[in-house]
């Protein structure tokens, strides 16, 4: 812990980490971020969570170590109730939490796997992106980091599996269909109750690896595998895709007070 500030243990490019970062910034919570090399984060997460969770994000808050992005946001909502991410109306709150769960389970894994799959088809590009994403001096060892990234994503998520990639594409499109249906049933701007809630934050966060909005973790204008770019172009005119871009633009604002970023290797 660093003083009494919350500490977010994260992988910088992770969309689930982005989900918690966004909640912290939305609530203007001054906090510290700790990043590790993907793969190294597994024993760290297990240590932090007492063996309960092998992955990040893990949020240290008020003496607790909270694994899982949904649990972390619930804890933040309790500790920092304003501005609220949960609707006050019980039925709307239940609806927002159901949508959070849907996008967590039915979008998040697919939106992670597909970019990694396409990057494994472009080793030089993958090495460049990986070297720019790791903390500390490891980023200077581009070839080694690229080799590690391809191996790690293949073992951890099956990122070299063509069938898994095809399933991911279908899952992303299905999640976009659901997003658009929910928006059409509401006011078109927000998923629940006509205001920004955890449902909007979750959907936008977990679509970011596909949409790559300018306000997201990945720097705009970076290299994109041609096959992934083609897939994105096929979705880019859809209302749900545009909604993700607009939601980031309108709501992904940094905290008023700057956070401190610490890295371990």
pLDDT at position 229 is 96
pLDDT at position 126 is 82
Is it true that the peptide bond before 79 is cis, omega within 30 degrees of 0?
A: no
Instruction: State the Cα–Cα distance between residues 3 and 221, nearest whole angstrom.
Output: 37
| Domain chopping of the chain, boundaries | 7-85+254-263, 90-251
pLDDT at position 140 is 60
Is it true that the peptide bond before 83 is cis, omega within 30 degrees of 0?
A: yes
Pairing of strands 260-263, 58-61: unpaired
pLDDT at position 261 is 37
Average pLDDT over every residue of 89-103? 98
Fold of 90-251: Glutathione S-transferase Yfyf (Class Pi); Chain A, domain 2 (1.20.1050)
Each residue's pLDDT tens digit, 190-222: 999 999 999 999 999 999 999 999 999 887 778
Instruction: State the Cα–Cα distance between residues 70 and 7, nearest whole angstrom.
Output: 16
Residue 262 banded pLDDT, cuts 50, 70, 90: very low
Instruction: State the Cα–Cα distance between residues 262 and 58, nearest whole angstrom.
Output: 15
Residue 1 banded pLDDT, cuts 50, 70, 90: very low
Closest of 124, 101, 112 to residue 56, by C-alpha: 112
Helix (H, G, I), strand (E, B) or coil at 252: coil
Q: What is the CATH number of domain 7-85+254-263?
A: 3.40.30.10
Computed from CA positions of residues 61, 212, 12, 249, in that sequence, does the dihedral angle turn out positive or negative?
negative
pLDDT at position 154 is 78
Instruction: State the Cα–Cα distance between residues 164 and 169, nearest whole angstrom.
Output: 9
pTM: 0.89
pLDDT at position 222 is 81
Q: Does residue 260 surpass a pLDDT of 70?
A: no
Each residue's pLDDT tens digit, 39-75: 778 788 888 888 888 889 999 999 999 999 999 999 9
Average pLDDT over every residue of 12-37? 94
Mean pLDDT of the chain: 89
Q: Do the beta carbons of residue 20 and residue 59 sit within 8 Å?
A: yes
Each residue's pLDDT tens digit, 11-23: 888 999 999 999 9
Computed from CA positions of residues 126, 132, 134, 138, in that sequence, does the dihedral angle turn out positive or negative?
positive
Identify the top-confidence range among 65-79, 137-151, 154-168: 65-79
Which DSSP state fits 259? P
């Amino acid at each position: 812990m660093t003083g009494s500030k919350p500490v977010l243990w994260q992988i910088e490019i992770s969309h689930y980490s982005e989900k918690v970062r966004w909640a912290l910034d939305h609530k203007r919570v001054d906090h510290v971020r700790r990043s590790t090399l993907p793969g190294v984060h597994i024993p760290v997460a297990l240590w932090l969570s007492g063996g309960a969770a092998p992955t990040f994000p893990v949020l240290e808050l008020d003496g607790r170590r909270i694994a899982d992005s949904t649990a972390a946001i619930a804890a933040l909502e309790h500790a920092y109730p304003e501005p609220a991410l949960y609707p006050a109306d019980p039925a709307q709150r239940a609806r927002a939490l159901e949508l959070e769960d849907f996008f967590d389970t039915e979008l998040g894994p697919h939106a992670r796997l597909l970019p990694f799959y396409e990057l494994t088809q472009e080793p030089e590009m993958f090495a460049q992106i990986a070297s720019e994403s790791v903390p500390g001096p490891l980023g200077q060892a581009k070839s080694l980091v690229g080799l590690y990234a391809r191996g790690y994503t293949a073992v951890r998520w099956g990122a070299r599996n063509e069938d898994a990639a095809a399933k991911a594409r279908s899952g992303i499109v299905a999640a976009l269909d659901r997003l658009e249906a929910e928006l059409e049933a509401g006011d078109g701007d927000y998923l629940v109750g006509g205001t920004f809630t955890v449902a909007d934050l979750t959907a936008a966060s977990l679509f970011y690896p596909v949409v790559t909005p300018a306000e997201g973790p990945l720097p705009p204008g970076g290299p994109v595998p041609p096959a992934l770019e083609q897939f994105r172009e096929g979705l880019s005119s859809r209302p749900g895709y545009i909604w993700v871009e607009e939601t980031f633009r309108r709501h992904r604002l940094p905290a008023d007070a700057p956070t401190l970023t610490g890295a371990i290797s």
